[in-house]
């Protein structure tokens, strides 16, 4: 299975970097064909350009600056997102990847009457998410009702890849995690993914 792993953390050697590499090794051992997209290392520009935005409702989206990234997404059967949750949202670079790469004519089609959009990412069979949070589980789940999970599952995949399987693992209180806790989380990734 062709798998695109998207890493969104600015620091080399970060916990997210470590988890992305462990996940890539694990999935490779299961026969996945891995492509790693490190958004910071590759200097992905997250800001939607005016030309791109103007083309959102045109016959064709102006994809000349993001053709490679769009092709990676359209070829992936499995997508793994690895990122820190900051302020209960996505890092700006990952949000920009969604804005620019999950584009009309590629990830979805606009309805002619500007009604509901229709999905186009039929290639995606599964999306796996690994995120780190500084907060305890109860703040994310009970107080904020998992905003990142809801956006990914309902808004993004619900609009662009309705038939894909979705799984999400969150590593809470990660900022002071012991190696034992990290190892336990890696085992969780390996047992579920």
**Model pTM score:** 0.95
Q: In the chain, what are the domains?
A: 2-192 (3.40.50.360)
The per-residue b/e assignment along 151-187, b for 16 or more CB within 10 angstroms, e otherwise, is: bbbeebbebbbeebebebbbbbebeebeeeebeebbe
Instruction: Note the pLDDT tens digit of each residue in 88-123.
Output: 999 999 999 999 999 999 999 988 777 888 999 999
Is residue 132 scored above 90 in pLDDT? yes
pLDDT of residue 144: 87
Rounded to the nearest angstrom, the gap between the alpha carbon of residue 170 and the centroid of all alpha carbons in its chain is 13
pLDDT of residue 110: 87
Q: Which two tokens stand for residue 87?
A: 């302020």
pLDDT of residue 139: 85
Is residue 35 scored above 80 in pLDDT? yes
pLDDT of residue 24: 98
CA atoms within a 13 Å half-sphere pointing along the CA-CB vector of 34: 20
pLDDT of residue 113: 79
Q: How confident is the model at residue 10 (pLDDT cuts 50, 70, 90)?
A: very high
What's the CA gap between 165 and 163, in Å, rounded?
7
* Mean pLDDT (whole number) for 150-165: 95
Is residue 179 scored above 80 in pLDDT? yes
Sort 47 into a burial class: Cβ within 10 Å, 0-12 / 13-18 / 19+: exposed
Q: Which two tokens stand for residue 170?
A: 């969150």
Q: Which two tokens stand for residue 3?
A: 């798998």
Instruction: Note the pLDDT tens digit of each residue in 39-76.
Output: 999 999 999 999 999 999 898 999 999 999 999 999 99
What's the CA gap between 149 and 179, in Å, rounded?
26
Contact (CB, 8 A) for 19 and 174: no
């Amino acid at each position: 299975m062709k798998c695109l792993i998207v890493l969104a953390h600015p620091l080399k050697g970060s916990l997210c970097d470590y988890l992305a590499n462990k996940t890539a090794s694990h999935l490779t051992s299961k026969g996945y064909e891995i492509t790693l997209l490190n958004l910071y290392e590759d200097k992905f520009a997250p800001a939607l350009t005016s030309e791109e935005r103007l083309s959102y409702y045109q016959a064709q989206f102006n994809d000349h600056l993001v053709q490679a990234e769009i092709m990676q997404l359209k070829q992936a059967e499995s997508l793994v997102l690895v990122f820190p949750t900051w302020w209960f949202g996505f890092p700006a670079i990952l949000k920009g990847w969604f804005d620019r790469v999950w584009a009309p004519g590629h990830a979805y089609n606009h309805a002619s009457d500007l009604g509901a959009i229709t999905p186009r990412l039929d290639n995606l069979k599964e999306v796996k998410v690994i995120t780190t949070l500084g907060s305890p589980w109860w703040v994310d789940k009970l107080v904020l009702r998992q905003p990142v999970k809801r956006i990914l599952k309902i808004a993004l995949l619900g609009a662009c890849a309705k038939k894909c399987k979705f799984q999400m693992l969150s590593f809470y209180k990660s900022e002071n995690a012991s190696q034992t806790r990290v190892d336990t989380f890696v085992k969780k990734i390996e047992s579920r993914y």
